[in-house]
Amino acid sequence: MPLVHLTDLISKPDNTYAIGAFNVSDMEMAMGAIQAAEELEAPLILQIAEGRLRYSPLDLLGPVMIAAAKKCKMPTAVHLDHGSTMETIKLALDLGFTSVMFDGSKYPLDENIARTKEVVKLAKSYGADVEGEIGRVGGAEGDYKSVDVLVTSVEEAKRFAEESGIDAMAVAIGTAHGNYKEKPQLRIDRLKEIHAAVKTPLVLHGGTGLTEADFRNCLANGIQKINIATASYDASAAKIKEVAAANPQAKYFDFSDAIVQGTRENVKKHMHIFGLEHKA
């Protein structure tokens, strides 16, 4: 099936489901995510964060992701998560990614808007979509330094959405990347206010560790894309340990299969929660 765009999947009036965007770091994880999408007849976003590229170079993994997405029988987009440099963003676009994220949340608002507009201009020349971020999601994605949560303000979200030209906007409502050390306190009140003020589809980062009720509350109040990374890595690692404990003579391909299975199970679990079954 041909690749689809981010906007093909998330530009919808229906708030009964949100599209899952699942980070992968190797061929096995991509295979597991695709198997889950096909089993549930669900749309899929495959993505890789720039902070993970030390482990999975984009020039090697990117073509694998593109090939896997094209092979998938369900509508699949390929996305660069948390892009921070124009060099990486351009490489993703050259490889055929259908969308890129520029994370300018560390910059003052004016600079974030200006830099994001440059990315939008570049991406549109490729026919690709762009996700931006306003406010700051806590924790750390990949090798980036951990940061504290800075909840998105309604005024800045409205200006950022209107001036940057982005197709999707990641907002900070109390979530954090990685595993939570304490129960997150989600600002659903702020999410409702932002959703009422902007037309741009909203994105939730830091999904690992949220409850099913948390997810459903977010998608009911404007979230249209939910990122899942750490949960898939943890599920794959747990499956590898399970195989090793059960069979000390396990071979390389036993562990390869474990990564596929761990990812597939985690993606399916979250797709069920996000209401994606039979939504392709």
79 is in an annotated binding site: no
Is 62 assigned a ligand-binding role in the annotation? Answer: no
For residue 107, what is the DSSP state?
A: S
Q: Is 129 a catalytic residue?
A: no
Residue 266 is assigned to a ligand binding site: no
* Residue 195 assigned ligand-binding role: no
The type of residue at 59 is: D
List 14, 26, 81, 234, catalytic entry: 81
Check if the beta carbon of residue 114 is closer than 8 Å to that of residue 134.
no
230 is in an annotated binding site: yes
Taking CB atoms within 8 Å and a gap of at least 24, the contacts of 178-187 are: 178/139, 178/140, 178/146, 178/206, 178/208, 178/230, 179/208, 179/209, 179/230, 179/234, 180/208, 180/209, 184/209, 184/210, 184/214, 186/210, 186/214, 186/217, 186/218, 187/151
Please tell me whether 113 is known to bind a ligand.
no
Torsion of CA 178, 86, 55, 23, to 10 degrees: 50
**DSSP type of residue 151:** P
Q: How far, in Å, CA of 164 to CA of 38, rounded?
A: 35
Q: Is 228 annotated as a binding residue?
A: yes
State both tokens at 210. Answer: 């949220």
| 206 labeled binding residue | yes
Task: Report which of 93, 69, 33 is spatially closest to residue 227, judged by C-alpha positions.
Answer: 33
Distance CA 11, CA 130 (A): 13
Distance of alpha carbon 84 from alpha carbon 103, whole angstroms: 6
Annotated ligand binding at 231? The verdict is no
Say if residue 270 carries a ligand binding annotation.
Answer: no
278 is annotated as contributing to ligand binding: no
Bind-site residues = 82, 103, 133, 177-178, 205-208, 227-230
Binding residue positions for Zn(2+): 82, 103, 133, 177, 205
Catalytic residues: 81
Please enumerate, by residue number, every residue annotated as part of a binding site for dihydroxyacetone phosphate. 178, 206-208, 227-230
